[in-house]
Amino acid sequence: MRKSNCRDICFLLVALSCVSVKSCRLADNPICQETAVTKSYCTVSQPNSSYATPPNNCVPASCFPKQHSSPNCKCAFPYTGLLGFRAPSFSDLGNITYFSVLEKSLMNSFKSHQFPVDSVHLSQPRKDLSQYLDLNLQVFPFGQDRFNRTAILSIGFMLSNQTFKPPAQFGPFFFIGDTYLHFTGSLITDTELKEKTYPTVSPILIVTPLSPPSLFLLIQEKSEDQKSHQAQVLSSELRLVALSFCCYCLVLGFMLLVKK
């Protein structure tokens, strides 16, 4: 057998193995150059992508700090996290069709569960060291600028326990949610939205009346008042006893005079 034939057979076997494991690339190798193969393993795809969900025919809003403009151009505090896909069947991260399909699948799942979700935002598709496909996820609230605790728990549970089923080309996945600090009624987030600085009362002024010295003086003053009141009661009782004794003596003296 000629050496060139052996070489072609070896490259063919490698190509077949690449089809099965979907992990190696033969770009610029003879099997691709000489046979004009157009398979995915003969092309070089970018390991990362700058994709981000585009606005839905609107102009992104200018938001307060820590708020984000949703795909529907509404300012809100989104629930964020990481979507990781262990075995996607595609490698071209520049093909935005995959991510558009995933966004629609997420929204359909949220709507079917009647969760208060306005839109989802995906960004920065990338491969990690384990060749997993990672995506940043932002979930925006519907009808308000933030979620309540029930909504966050429901969304996190749906994504974490595999209730959501992604499109088949993405394969199995996991979700790592970030800590959400902007619940409805949160004093912290209300303060964050204020651009102006307003005068505030120092906590020291509130604590000072309840500080140990002040508290001691307050107790001591109350104790002295109680002692003064008790002394007044005792003095009144003594005067009453003395008056009664005097009356008794007068009556006794009068009776002695009558007997004589």
The predicted structure's pLDDT at residue 78:
97
Q: Quick one: angle between helices 149-160 and 96-112, nearest 10?
A: 120
Digit-coded pLDDT (tens) for 166-176: 999 999 999 99
Give the model confidence (pLDDT) of 49-75 as tens digits. 789 999 999 999 999 998 999 999 999
Cα(68)–Cα(178) distance, integer angstroms? 15
Cα-flanking dihedrals φ and ψ of residue 52, to 5°? -150, 140
Instruction: Find tokens 């690449």 and name the residue.
Output: 18
Q: Is 158 helix (H, G, I), strand (E, B) or coil?
A: helix
pTM attached to this predicted model: 0.57
Task: For each of the domains in the chain, give its residue range(s) and CATH number, in order of start.
Answer: 3-42 (no CATH), 68-192 (3.30.70)
HSE at residue 28, side-chain half, CA atoms within 13 A, is 1
Burial of 228 (0-12, 13-18, 19+ CB in 10 A): exposed
What does the DSSP 8-state code read for residue 172? Answer: S
Separation between Cα atoms, residue 38 and residue 40, nearest integer Å: 7
131: left (phi over 0), alpha (psi -120 to 50) or beta: left
Cα-Cα end-to-end distance for the chain: 165
- Where does the pLDDT of residue 218 fall: very low under 50, low under 70, confident under 90, or very high at 90 and above? very low
What is the average pLDDT score of the chain? 75
